[in-house]
Chains A and B, each alone.
Chain A
Amino acid sequence: DTAVSQTPKYLVTQMGNDKSIKCEQNLGHDTMYWYKQDSKKFLKIMFSYNNKELIINETVPNRFSPKSPDKAHLNLHINSLELGDSAVYFCASSDLGDTQYFGPGTRLTVL
């Protein structure tokens, strides 16, 4: 009965590769988010989708492309991975304007 789930939990890859992280929520929320947590634990929003439409894009490099096939899923694809992309990526969901609920995170390590 997991509310917000992410796969994979850990992702280790080489520089220059392309990878995807998947997120699913079963809470019936209409808004989903991606946040990045850096090595100092600082959290910052990257993207938000409401009913499959992009509503927030926080000056993230265009190597990062979110895709929302339906309102229960929000995937994050990253092209040409760089060392600085190493972080923990969190997915979250909410009803618009309401409390956000987070997934368990995906720890990405770029070698």
Chain B
Amino acid sequence: GNSVTQMEGPVTLSEEAFLTINCTYTATGYPSLFWYVQYPGEGLQLLLKATKADDKGSNKGFEATYRKETTSFHLEKGSVQVSDSAVYFCALTAQGAQKLVFGQGTRLTINP
């Protein structure tokens, strides 16, 4: 079946550090890939998405590139801020399917 695996958290970084959160997936066909973010006490917000191989999604300084050859969609940011502290979820929708399949989430804490 379809699945998403994210790097284990929690991740703790200092402000202005470089961030990578790894995400790999298993799916048949050509899934769409997403990163959602959940700030403390809030719901899920779409951070970025990519719908085909080699697409790069970007938003708020975050980027992720859809790599079909490595079945990956790693999230990166060049310089994190305290306000980026949140739980980040990698997710996919399989080709022709409606439901989102989520990874287990990665808690990120940024210290000043």
B34, A99: Cβ atoms closer than 8 Å: yes
Residues of B within 8 A of A97 (CB): 93, 96, 98
Separation of A2 and B87 alpha carbons in the complex (Å): 22
CB distance from A97 to the nearest CB of B (A): 7
Residue from A31, A43, A103, A104 within 8 A of B102 (CB atoms): A43
Q: Is the interface of A mostly helix, strand, loop or mixed?
A: strand
Shortest distance from the beta carbon of B27 to any chain A beta carbon, whole Å: 15
The answer to whether A104 and B98 touch (CB under 8 A), given A41-B87, A42-B104, is no
| Closest A residue by C-beta to B102 | A43
Across the interface, which residues of A come within 8 angstroms of B77, CB to CB?
Answer: none
- Taking A33-B99, A45-B100, A50-B98 as known contacts, 12 extra A-B pairs with beta carbons closer than 8 A to each other, sorted by chain A number, are A31-B98, A33-B100, A35-B100, A41-B38, A41-B107, A43-B44, A43-B105, A56-B98, A92-B100, A97-B96, A100-B100, A102-B44
Chain B interface (Cβ < 8 Å from any Cβ of A):
34, 36, 38, 42-46, 49, 87, 89, 93, 96, 98-100, 102, 104-105, 107
